Chain A
Amino acid sequence: QVQLQESGPGLVKPSETLSLTCTVSGGSISSYYWSWIRQPPGKGLEWIGYISYSGTTNYNPSLESRVTISVDTSKNQFYLNLSSVTAADTAVYYCARQGGYQSPFQHWGQGTLVIVSS
């Protein structure tokens, strides 16, 4: 059974770059699409973007200017970089797996809370 695990700093200063890693175990990162989704405390889910195993990306238009998602198939990991963060970027960040870009988010990580504060 595939498992996803987010990791990265839990505290980021305003204007800096938020960087997270999602490690995939129990299956190969190849042949799937991989998304980042976030949830501010007490609020709803927001899709950030996805990357395919071959490196094709697509981002939420509202975040596109600040987001980069990348993948390292040799490490079975993919990554999120979100630049110029503000308090509004404080959220639980989830990584998730899709079968294809139009497939649902079938497998999720447990999520990691990132707080933006000085």
Chain B
Amino acid sequence: QSALTQPASVSGSPGQSITISCTGTNSDLDTYSYVSWYQQHPGKAPKLMIYDVSRRPSGVSNRFSGSKSGNTASLTISGLQAEDESDYYCSSCTTNSTWVFGGGTKLTVL
């Protein structure tokens, strides 16, 4: 199975909105809506931010939203804050009931 494709880095200024894309194949994103997004600060475990394309776990800010079209999922963060600076990973269940992650995107808040 191949890793999902994410941009290596994105950046934005405080208050702005950014979107991180995640592209897969017909073995994962194009077939299923079991895509999730994780935030990982340096030296910390990943934290679930979005699951099932667009659902937010309890406690996650509504500034985080997700969507999917075909084989591409997207994470949008609105009203950027300094604390959002982190690495973000997408993940999807595959047709073999395995899981695959994206390569990760480093978000810089300017």
- A residues engaging B (CB < 8 A)? 35, 44-47, 49-50, 58-62, 94, 101-106, 108-111
- Asked if B64 is at the interface (CB within 8 A of a chain A CB), the reply is no
- Asked if B102 is at the interface (CB within 8 A of a chain A CB), the reply is yes
- B residues engaging A (CB < 8 A)? 1, 3, 32, 34, 36, 38, 45-48, 51-52, 57, 89, 91, 93, 96-104
New contact pairs (6) apart from A44-B104, A45-B38, CB-CB < 8 Å: A47-B98, A61-B1, A62-B1, A103-B51, A104-B34, A104-B91
* Residue ID in chain B nearest A59 by CB atoms: B98
* Residue ID in chain B nearest A60 by CB atoms: B98
B99 partner residues in chain A, CB cutoff 8 A: 35, 47, 50
- The residue among B1, B46, B91 with the most chain A CB atoms within 10 A of its own CB is B46
B97 partner residues in chain A, CB cutoff 8 A: 58, 101-102
A45 touches B45 (CB 8 A): no
Nearest 5 interchain pairs by C-beta: A104-B36, A104-B51, A108-B45, A47-B99, A44-B104
Give Cα distance in the complex from A59 to B97, angstroms.
9
